[in-house]
């Protein structure tokens, strides 16, 4: 059974940084696309960063230039770092994995950015 578990959320001051981590169990990350999305009460879930197994990383314009997605397939983990946090980055962040059309999601980790 596949499980994704996020960690690293919390309360952060505007201008600070957060590093979110996702641990995947039940499958190997190799060859799979991983990513992060976020959701607020006002907006639908939006994709913020994607890293395919091979190829270019993609970032939403809202975080481009201040975010980095990375992965460690040997350890079965992938991370999202966001720098220069803004109050509008406040959201629940979800990690996800795509395995040949099957998608798996974590339960989410809350990030609150105080101004």
DSSP structure string for 35-91: EEEEE-SSS--EEEEEE-SSS--EE-TTTTTSEEEEEETTTTEEEEEE-S--GGG-E
**Phi and psi angles of residue 6, each rounded to the nearest 5 degrees, phi first:** -90, 155
In tens digits, what is the pLDDT along the chain, a chain of 115 residues? 999 999 999 999 999 999 999 999 999 999 999 999 999 988 889 999 999 999 899 999 999 999 999 999 999 999 999 999 999 999 999 999 998 889 999 999 999 999 8
33 secondary structure, DSSP code: E
Report the C-alpha gap between 67 and 20 in whole angstroms.
11
Pairing of strands 10-13, 109-114: parallel
């Amino acid at each position: 059974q596949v499980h994704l578990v996020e960690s690293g959320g919390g309360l952060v001051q505007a201008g600070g940084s957060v590093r979110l981590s996702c641990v995947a169990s039940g499958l190997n990350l190799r060859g799979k696309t991983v990513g992060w999305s976020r959701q607020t009460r006002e907006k639908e879930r939006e994709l913020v960063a994607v890293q395919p197994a091979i190829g270019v990383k993609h970032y939403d314009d809202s975080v481009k230039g201040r975010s980095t997605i990375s992965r460690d397939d040997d350890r079965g983990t992938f991370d999202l770092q966001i720098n220069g946090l803004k109050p509008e980055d406040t959201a629940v962040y979800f990690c996800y994995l795509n395995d040949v059309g099957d998608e798996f999601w974590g339960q989410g980790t809350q990030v609150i950015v105080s101004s």
